[in-house]
């Protein structure tokens, strides 16, 4: 490759050309491309600002699937592609020095357009920003070529591969809300348009091809099916409360698992659901999800805006609680990929392990689990997280186990046929269930404590019984992560040892 010249135009001339350009009339496709880019830029701004502060207000997916976003499909594609190429785009923009302060104020829109010019189809590029960047096309391409020389790659494909993020093209799972619709009817209706299979572990779960967009499907809109992953759909069945039981959902908001519990209990019994989060949006959603089920005479779901840790387990109103689902706040590291967090700059740089936060979460999780053990009549407790970190999972269980055993609880095995088990950090950890983000879409952790003679699993599918004898249980998380953990390269915070290197210590209370 020869020398590359970056041609720069006189800024005044550029400004004049730009003013002339804005007056042109747009065609239909140009208009929709123009608005899609601006709609995407607004979302990208929220995403990048949240990521920079390590304090996202909402996930990328939830921002895209807001009702106010008109062209969800296009917005989704634009944002994903721009984020995937963002390190390259930023580099090219920096080295070409074409942005003045005016354009820097619209940097998200600029990133989107530069993506289109360098890697996309570069069509329908109307609008001031588009025209400005098209005029600097050569400079942008020159900077890209320079970067390829520096990085010693032959083509753009190789350059992009250097910044590659994992592909998360996993199946789309839907959970049938059996309170509204039976599974076979849901299957029939969905099969009119999609290829659908039943899941072989969970009887109310259906599997559709990756990327199936059901957000606007009537069954989703009327609450007959939920877009819920397999791992999160395993939590309520792990508890398997029986119809007629009294059940406590300790950290229930936004209420997805509460509704699942009600379905498994066939509307018979009582569920008390706690939500402590003082954010109106979450509480509204919580009540919205539960509303259709609250006033049923045969079942009773009470949704209370109260801190689970403040309730007295010995109070007479809790004397008959037989099962507790404890799904406390966690780092969410296991669902980062489904939320598309892996595309964020902070994740690409590998800076996402905030040890102080993990320590605090772990301390809260342990406290909540100890509190759950105090309910006098409780027979089963499920503890679950959507975290991949040992400190929020096996470590919490291990530290609480002696207390649990002193109350007559044992660790039970909710899904014996499931291959991904807890990390082998203590005896009995093979009863713990993990799901692998790469394989199952989400990294969940489930532990079931059972009192009395609950040695058999409450959730016992036909497949479970057949496989129970055959399968050896392997402690398993994603093979590369598991091997790193095994050979000491990964510590209990889930990061490389050199990243922690003694700087971050767990709370002494959990050691």
Ligand X SMILES: C[S@@+](CC[C@H](N)C(=O)[O-])C[C@H]1O[C@@H](n2cnc3c(N)ncnc32)[C@H](O)[C@@H]1O
**87 is known to lie in a ligand binding site:** no
Q: Which of 285/504 has CB closer to ligand X?
A: 285
**252 is known to lie in a ligand binding site:** yes
Phi, psi of 221 (to 5 degrees): -65, -35
Active-site annotation holder among 330, 386, 420, 495: 386
Please, are residues 327 and 228 in contact by the beta-carbon 8 Å criterion?
no
Q: How far is the CB of 303 from ligand X (least distance, A)?
A: 11
Q: Which of 143/232 has CB closer to ligand X?
A: 232
Q: How far is the CB of 391 from ligand X (least distance, A)?
A: 16
Using CB under 6 A as the criterion, which residues of the chain lie in contact with ligand X when the complex forms?
251-257, 274-277, 282, 307-309, 327-329
**256 is known to lie in a ligand binding site:** yes
Closest CA to 332 of 392, 379, 281: 392
In the residue annotation, 386 being an active-site residue is answered as yes
Biggest CA-to-CA distance, the chain: 83
Q: How far is the CB of 248 from ligand X (least distance, A)?
A: 11
Q: Which of 328/416 has CB closer to ligand X?
A: 328
**307 is known to lie in a ligand binding site:** yes
ω into 254 cis (within 30 of 0): yes
**251 is known to lie in a ligand binding site:** yes
**447 is known to lie in a ligand binding site:** no
**122 is known to lie in a ligand binding site:** no
Encode 256-319 in three state secondary structure.
HHHHHHHHHCCCCEEEEEECCCCCHHHHHHHHHHHHHHHCCCCEEEEEECCCHHHCCCCCHHHC
Please, are residues 234 and 201 in contact by the beta-carbon 8 Å criterion?
yes
Alpha-carbon torsion (278, 281, 284, 285), positive or negative: negative
Q: Which of 329/468 has CB closer to ligand X?
A: 329
Q: How far is the CB of 186 from ligand X (least distance, A)?
A: 20
3-state DSSP assignment of residue 206:
strand
Q: Which of 226/245 has CB closer to ligand X?
A: 226
In the sheet that holds 225-226, the strands lie side by side as 197-198, 205-208, 172-176, 225-226
What's the rounded Cα separation, in Å, for the pair 334 and 437? Answer: 6
Q: How far is the CB of 335 from ligand X (least distance, A)?
A: 10
Collect all residues with Cβ–Cβ distance below 8 Å to 382 and sequence separation of at least 6. 235, 236, 238, 239, 323, 324, 325, 326, 327, 414, 446, 447, 448, 449
Tokens coding 382: 């499920």
Q: Which of 48/325 has CB closer to ligand X?
A: 325
3-state DSSP assignment of residue 451:
strand
Q: How far is the CB of 253 from ligand X (least distance, A)?
A: 4
Question: Binding site for S-adenosyl-L-methionine, residues?
Answer: 251-257, 307, 327
Question: Active-site residues: which are they?
Answer: 386
């Amino acid at each position: 490759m020869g020398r590359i010249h970056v041609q720069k135009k006189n800024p005044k001339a550029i400004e004049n050309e730009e003013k002339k350009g804005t007056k042109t009339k747009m065609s239909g496709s140009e208009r929709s491309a123009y608005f899609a880019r601006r709609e995407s830029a607004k979302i990208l701004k929220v995403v990048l600002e949240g990521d920079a502060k390590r304090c996202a207000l909402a996930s990328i997916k939830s921002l895209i699937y807001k009702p106010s976003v008109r062209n969800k499909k296009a917005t989704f594609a634009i944002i994903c592609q721009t984020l995937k190429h963002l390190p390259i785009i930023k580099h090219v923009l920096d080295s070409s020095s074409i942005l003045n302060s005016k354009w820097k104020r619209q940097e998200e829109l600029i990133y989107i357009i530069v993506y289109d010019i360098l890697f996309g189809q570069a069509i329908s590029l109307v609008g001031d920003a588009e025209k400005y960047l098209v005029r600097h096309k050569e400079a942008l391409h020159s900077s890209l070529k320079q970067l390829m020389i520096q990085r010693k790659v032959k083509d753009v494909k190789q350059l992009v591969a250097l910044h590659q993020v994992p592909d998360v093209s996993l199946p789309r799972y839907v959970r049938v809300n059996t309170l509204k619709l039976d599974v076979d009817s849901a299957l029939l209706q969905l099969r009119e348009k999609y290829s659908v299979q039943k899941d072989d572990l969970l009887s109310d779960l259906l599997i559709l091809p990756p990327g199936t967009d059901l957000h606007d499907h009537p069954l989703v809109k009327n609450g007959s099916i939920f877009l819920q992953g397999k791992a999160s759909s395993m939590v309520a069945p792990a508890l398997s409360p029986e119809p007629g039981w009294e059940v406590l959902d300790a950290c229930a908001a936004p209420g997805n698992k509460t509704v699942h519990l009600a379905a498994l209990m066939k509307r018979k019994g009582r569920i008390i659901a706690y939500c402590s989060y003082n954010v109106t949006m979450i509480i509204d959603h919580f009540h919205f999800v539960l509303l259709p089920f609250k006033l049923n005479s045969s079942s009773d779901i009470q949704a209370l805006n109260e801190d689970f840790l403040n309730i007295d387990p010995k109070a007479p109103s809790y004397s008959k609680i037989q099962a507790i689902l404890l799904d406390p706040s966690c780092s969410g590291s296991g669902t980062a990929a489904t939320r598309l967090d892996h595309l964020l700059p902070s994740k690409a740089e590998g800076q996402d392990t905030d040890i102080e936060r993990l320590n605090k979460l772990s301390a809260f999780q342990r406290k909540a689990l100890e509190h759950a053990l105090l309910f006098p009549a409780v027979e089963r407790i499920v503890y679950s997280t959507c975290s991949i970190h040992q400190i929020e999972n096996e470590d919490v269980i291990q530290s609480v186990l002696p207390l649990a055993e002193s109350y007559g609880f044992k660790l039970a095995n909710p899904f014996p046929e499931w291959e991904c088990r807890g990390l082998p950090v203590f005896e009995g950890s093979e009863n713990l269930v993990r799901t692998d983000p790469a394989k199952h879409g989400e990294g969940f952790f489930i532990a079931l404590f059972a009192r009395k003679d609950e040695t058999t699993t409450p959730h016992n599918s036909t497949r479970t019984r057949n496989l129970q004898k055959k399968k050896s249980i392997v402690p398993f998380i994603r093979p590369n992560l598991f091997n790193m953990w095994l050979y000491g390269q990964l510590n209990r915070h889930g990061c490389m040892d050199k990243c922690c290197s003694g700087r971050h210590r767990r709370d002494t209370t959990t050691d």
